[in-house]
Amino acid sequence: MADVHSSETRSFNMSQIRSQNTKPELLIRKNLFSNGFRYRLHKKELPGKPDIVLNKYKTVIFVNGCFWHGHDNCRYFKMPSTRTEWWAAKINRTKERDVDSIKKLKKERWHVIVIYECQLKNEKLNKTIDRVIKQLNKWRIKTEIGNDG
């Protein structure tokens, strides 16, 4: 099946897709900030250039789009029916890069949280935020105990 858009229209549409400050990312940031967590954004020095970096907790958060990161078994990820081989290769490279970045971060003793956009939809949002905050507090307590003794 041919693309329903001209190449110019498709090119424009693709150029409008953000890689930073996406709605899912802003949702997480807003909730973290309102719960007292302070963070840095998109630290280029770290593998994978994480979306959110909480230095105090030695934690990074990646907020991934389900389509672009090939979220398995997700209703928001569907392989395009045109140029399938090209898209499959692109998405697989992204998944490999994600795995590599996480391995490097863990080797440097960073805690890693990966959140997919589908985990922030509707009723799942509060559950996801609660899970992240609970995990951060757990790591905070471990860090404080580790520094004292």
**Tens of pLDDT along 78-110?**
888 888 898 899 999 999 999 999 999 999 999
Three-class DSSP category at 115: strand
Per-residue pLDDT of the chain (149 residues; tens, 9 = 90+): 555 656 666 555 555 555 566 888 999 999 999 999 999 998 889 999 999 999 999 999 999 999 889 999 998 888 888 888 988 999 999 999 999 999 999 999 999 999 999 999 988 999 999 999 999 988 876 656 555 44
pLDDT for 11 equals 55
List the chain domain ranges.
24-148
Distance CA 42, CA 52 (A): 6
Fold designation for 24-148:
Endonuclease; Chain A (3.40.960)
Contacts 24+ apart (CB under 8 A), 80-89: 81/1, 82/1, 82/2, 82/3
Q: Are strands 59-64 and 111-116 parallel, antiparallel or unpaired?
A: parallel
Distance CA 79, CA 100 (A): 23
Global pTM reads 0.83
pLDDT for 148 equals 46
